[in-house]
Structure 1
Amino acid sequence: MTLRSFNEHPLGDYLVALRAMTPLVHCITNYVAMNSTANLLLATGASPAMLHAKEEAAEFAAISCALAINIGTISTPWAEAMLMATSTANRQGIPWVLDPVAVGATHFRQTLCAKLLPHQPTVIRGNSSEILTLNGLSSQGRGVDTTASTQDTSATTAAVALARQHRCIVAMTGQKDFITNGTNHYYLKGGHALMPRITALGCGLSALVAGFVAAEKAHPFEACIAALACFAVAGSQAGQYATGPGSFEVALLDALYQLTPNNLSTLAQLEAVHAV
């Protein structure tokens, strides 16, 4: 697939597509993230569904527009449901996003991700420690926290290698996001310092990426960037009104709901990277 020009197709076009489609996003996510993820999807313009029973995971994935997999609070039945749903998505060409929460923390998480990756995720969205772990590099990640910067050479190299190996998009998020499809690479700035103070925002972002990619299946790389840009721009705007984490979360929902395609296009701080 050829890369679309952001001059000819600005980021706001992808927000228009999302809201026109209202894609149904099947989320197998963690307990902490369910409510906030659903609200973030609704505020931006997608339709959430939270189902994790293995008895229906594959069946529902087949009728969804996209699938978001988050391993934050996995158990064996949930892991089985994730494998069934991603297998269905892979067979039927349904885009899906992997959020490998704290993959470096336990053998169980690493084993599950090793089984999920052959089902060909469209996007892997994680922090730098998670991306380093997935790529087989040593990391000092602590739970969902990260000690590596998205601008560290080891992290960007791992992201590019992971994207090439699995023929997918890797969105490595942090103070400055790094997005790559193995050939093209971008940095994205924005957001606000209060965002890490609110649990599960990254989980919601992964689901939002799934929604954007569903609305623009022919251009998943650009759609992924647009989803991240929505968070970056809305986060910056929310920070102007928030006085703490509680008010910021409410302000972020309002900012996503009020975000216009023009503001997304003009306020996103996107920078092409020509060498990694």
Structure 2
Amino acid sequence: MKQRPDFGEMLAGMRAQKPLVHCITNFVAMNIAANVVLAAGASPAMVHAPEEAGEFAGLCGAVTINIGTLSPVLLQGMCAAVQTANHNAIPWVLDPVAHFAIAYRRDAAQHLLSLKPAIIRGNASEILTLAGFAAHGQGADSGDDAGAAYSAAVQLARDQQCIVAVTGAYDLVTDGQATMRIDGGSALMPQITALGCALTCLTGAFAAAHKTQLFEATVAALAMYAVAGAQAAHGATGPASFQVQFIDALAALTPAYFQSHAKVQCYETV
């Protein structure tokens, strides 16, 4: 059975390293994703052109791939970065945004999946369909909760030999054997464009700093989001003020507060 990570130690370690994270994400998410990574204590780079993405990935601690605004050129850059990451044992995270919507997106997600991500992060509908299950998603929005995707996430983690994170009102992280549940956050979080996409980049930051503990790193990233989200909700009057408060909460979060306020428990061991 997996033990609850020392979140304070993991956050302090990530901030001490300040890893460079190669974030190939959608155009809607670039600004907020960069700000989230910076506030948490890492260094983002939004390099995506095929002419430089492959070479640049070799300079980074982790690569994150998000297919939200997919195009042939962007996909070429993603594949170039992933090839470099795999060649150099650099962990990379796949965020298969709405991959089930249309054929081009499905094919791109399946190709990226075949390149063996170290971590997959998606909402429940995305994880269900990526594992071959039926789901109720609409566009980038999930119509399923994390619990409904539990079996699919475990199967996907086993089949791909990777870590799978399912995010929603509560989150699940599994390596195919052990699973942890993360609670917290705020109901305002889904009202902020691309906040989930930014979480993928933050997951890359923790993975870069803790390459031999990718399960724990993924749990830590999701738990940091949940703790900061709960903090931000106290001073927010709506989505716009929440976004500002959330970035501030990430930056202000201390290792001690993180350790004492993370709501993480073993979900089930199979």
The equivalent residue for 2:173 is 179
- Could you say which residue in structure 1 is the equivalent of 2:65? 69
Aligned to 1:167: 161
**Structure-2 residue corresponding to 1:47:** 43
Distance in 1 between residues matched to 2:69 and 2:41, nearest whole Å? 26
TM-score, with length taken from structure 1: 0.96
Displacement of 1:91 after TM fit?
1.4
Report how far residue 109 of structure 1 moved.
1.2
Question: Is 2:93 the counterpart of 1:97?
Answer: yes
> Identity of counterpart residues, as a percentage?
50
Q: Which runs of 5+ in 1 are unaligned?
A: none
| 1:197 aligns with one of 170, 188, 191 | 191
Which whole-Å CA distance do the structure 2 matches of 1:275 and 1:92 have between them?
A: 32
Contact residue 207 and residue 213 of structure 2 kept, 8 A: yes
Q: Measure, in 2, the Cα distance between the counterparts of 1:119 and 1:274.
A: 28
Paired residue type of 1:113: A
Cα-to-partner distance string for 1:55-86 (whole Å, 9 max, x where unaligned): 11100011111101000001001111111111
**Equivalent position amino acid for 1:239 in 2:** A
Equivalent residue letter for 1:202? G
Correspondence for 1:236: 230
Deviation at 1:14, TM superposition (A): 0.8
Per the alignment, residue 129 of structure 1 pairs with: 125
Is the counterpart of residue 38 in structure 1 residue 24 in structure 2?
no
Is the 8 Å Cα contact of residues 185 and 226 (structure 2) preserved in structure 1? yes
Question: Which whole-Å CA distance do the structure 2 matches of 1:87 and 1:132 have between them?
Answer: 26
Aligned residues, how many?
270
Q: Deviations over 1:148-192 (max 9, x none)?
A: 11112xx11000000001110000000010110001101110000
Secondary structure class of the residue paired with 2:13:
helix
- Note if contact 1:129-1:147 (Cα within 8 Å) is conserved in structure 2: yes
Structure 1 position 85 matched with structure 2 position 81: yes
Q: 2:217 matched to 1:223? A: yes
CA deviation after TM superposition for structure 1 residue 275, in Å: 4.6
1:272 corresponds to: 266
Asked if 2 retains the 8 angstrom alpha-carbon contact of 1:12 and 1:226, the reply is no
CA apart distance, 1:99: 0.5
The aligned amino acid for 1:58 is: G
Q: Once the two structures are superposed, what CA deviation does each residue of 1:82-117 show, in whole Å capped at 9, x if it has no partner?
A: 111111111110011001011111111111111111
Distance in 2 between residues matched to 1:48 and 1:144, nearest whole Å: 23
Superposed structure 1 runs of 4+ greater than 3 Å apart:
none
> What is the TM-score of this pair, normalised by structure 2?
0.98
CA RMSD of aligned residues (A): 1.1
Aligned equivalents of 2:137, 2:267: Cα separation in 1: 25
The gaps in structure 2 that reach 5 residues or longer are: none
How many angstroms apart in 2 are the aligned matches of 1:61 and 1:107?
28
Query: 2:234 corresponds to which letter in structure 1?
Result: Q
